[in-house]
Chain A
Amino acid sequence: MAMLEIEGLNAWYGASHVLHGISLTVEPGEIVALVGRNGAGKTSTIRAVMGLMPKATGSVRFADTELLPLPAHARFGLGLAYVPEERRIVPGLTVRENLQLGLVASDGTIDERQAIDEIARSFPRLKERLDQQGVTMSGGEQQMLAIARAMIARPRMILLDEPSEGIMPILVEEMGVLFRRLRDEGTTLLLVEQNVEWALKLADRAVIIDQGEVVHRSSAAALLADKAIQERYCAV
């Protein structure tokens, strides 16, 4: 059974039809890279999965639950987390409180202190800053916080929108290590990226979207080797 199965997904922003029948699947425990040019529809695809598009039709099944009819907030409890491109660290809240936000909807089976300790071990940079305002940290640290907040309730799958954007190379490397570890522990990842080479080295499979349609599916390694296709659909 696929973890995420998107079939014939159409979506609109007002009158503009941005997704034209997207179909893709993500199997449990794999990393899938979703790549393509700016404006191709990558972000719209994961926003539609998260229930954040004004209008979407087709089918999106997560672990066999049809998502499109559900309100946006119903997804987190099914084990589907999302790290938006803008990170959305909440101003006025400390790093610790931002992490707590990742647990407010959980049913209380997760011990908050223990979960934060655990996260602090995975993210030493956050550990030193737990009582600092989240938005005062560097972009990279905020990205780490956004990822930590999404994973603290131990979701089955995380959708990540351009996590490497605008971040120091050393942090991007650290993030790659983290994503591999998450996958090895059984978490499924869908990674939207502009940093194609980095994403393809991490991912098991790759999907290219262009003008709101899927134009290529293959193993990540095969796409990494195929410079012609990369040039055609991903070149800036």
Chain B
Amino acid sequence: MDAELIAMQLFSGVALGAILIMVALGLSIIFGMLGVVNFAHGALFMVGAYAGLWVASLTGSFWWGLLVAPVAIGLFGMAIERVLIRPLYRRSVDDPLLLTFGLGYVLVEAVRIAFGSDGIPFPTPPELAGVADLGIGFFPIYRLFVVGVVAAVLILVWLCLEKTRFGLIVRAGARDPLIMRVLGVDIAGVWLLVFGLGVGLTALGGVLAAPMRNVNPEMGSLVLAEAFVVTVIGGMGSLVGAVVAGLLVGVAISMTALFAPEMATIVMFALMALVLLVRPQGLFGKPGRA
């Protein structure tokens, strides 16, 4: 087995990890801020991919799909928070979980009705087709693009969280919503925006992932499981954790696929079990965070 193949597989893992980071980051900030485990997150990833496909076929341009779908699905996410989830905040933590779990099924079935059960190919945009020779091997340009977009989005999210007034409110509100209300912040409005942001990120992940695989109504369920594993390994509510764990899981899956394909789906759970044994709060999580 030559080094070039390993390098390419490693890079595939990074591209897969980049997608997982988009999904896990949204999952993680929604949980960190609202305390809601969003089981519809995988379905929203899938809806994002379909929305991207639909917009791209209407406009004839992948770029419009990439731009419009995450924003539209993010707004849809805000509607979900406002109408369906908000009435459940004062109730048991199981209620939003059950609601989003059911919502996930509703979305999958709705897409099945609208677009059919079969996978739809999502062509790689021609500008990004082909491979690039990086000296150590040939890498698909589209995957390089995906990694670049995800890196740019991560920097934006980080700047927003660490350097802006809104970010300060989010970080503080995740720890102590009561004091934020006392200090004049309409925290329910912040939750709405954070939910929309998290959903927009997973939808962006869906559009980005689409040209790397077929678009089908089930594509969200495996991603959701993988994203849960990423957030558990990285630590709930941690941006750095989501990034490190996303790359770790992506690379682990793709390297196992190369050496022991039958183990590829199990390896991430083994990784998770290992991390939980050594560091139950996750690599970058804070212990005892409720």
Contact = CB atoms under 8 A, between A and B. Distances in A.
Contacts of B181: 51-52, 71-73
Contacts of A102: 183
Interface stretch (A37-45, A82-90, A209-217, A221-229): A82-90
A101 B179 contact: yes
A76 B184 contact: yes
B36 to A, nearest CB: 20
A90 B176 contact: yes
Interface of A: 50-52, 71-77, 81-82, 84, 88, 90-93, 97, 100-102, 104-106, 149
Contact of A149 (B171, B175, B183, B186): B183
Interface string B166-179: 00110110011011
Nearest to B179: A88
Nearest to B165: A104
B178 A91 contact: no
A236 B178 CA distance: 30
16 contacts: A52-B178, A52-B181, A72-B182, A73-B182, A74-B184, A75-B182, A75-B184, A76-B183, A88-B179, A90-B179, A92-B175, A93-B172, A97-B168, A101-B179, A105-B184, A106-B184
B186 A71 contact: yes
Given A73-B185, A88-B182, A101-B180, 6 more contacts: A73-B180, A92-B171, A101-B183, A104-B168, A104-B184, A106-B184
Q: Is the contact region of chain B dominated by helix, strand, or loop, or is it mixed?
A: helix
B187 interface: yes
Interface string B184-215: 11110000000000000000000000000000
A91 B180 CA distance: 13
Contacts of A50: 182
Contact of B175 (A74, A91, A100, A105): A91
Interface of B: 165, 168-169, 171-172, 175-176, 178-187, 286
B128 to A, nearest CB: 39
Q: Is the contact region of chain A dominated by helix, strand, or loop, or is it mixed?
A: loop
Contacts of A92: 171, 175, 286
Contact of B183 (A93, A97, A104): A104
Contact of B171 (A77, A82, A93, A106): A93
Q: Which of B165, B180, B182 has the most C-beta atoms of chain A within 10 angstroms of its own C-beta?
A: B182
B168 A100 contact: yes
A100 B187 CA distance: 16
A92 B32 CA distance: 13
B19 to A, nearest CB: 28
B70 to A, nearest CB: 27
A97 B187 CA distance: 18
Contacts of A84: 179, 182
Nearest to B176: A90
Contacts of A88: 176, 178-179, 182
Nearest to B172: A90
Q: Which of B176, B180, B181, B183 has the most C-beta atoms of chain A within 10 angstroms of its own C-beta?
A: B183
Contacts of B182: 50, 52, 72-73, 75-76, 81-82, 84, 88
Contacts of B286: 92
Given A90-B172, A92-B171, A93-B171, A104 B185 contact: yes
B87 to A, nearest CB: 16
B175 A104 contact: no
Contacts of A51: 181
B163 to A, nearest CB: 11
A128 to B, nearest CB: 22
A71 B181 CA distance: 9
B169 A104 contact: yes
Nearest to A82: B182
A106 B169 CA distance: 13
Nearest to A135: B175
B200 to A, nearest CB: 23
Contacts of B169: 101, 104
Q: Which of B169, B176, B181, B185 has the most C-beta atoms of chain A within 10 angstroms of its own C-beta?
A: B181
A101 B168 CA distance: 8
Nearest to A54: B90
A102 B165 CA distance: 11
Nearest to A102: B183
A216 to B, nearest CB: 29
A164 to B, nearest CB: 20
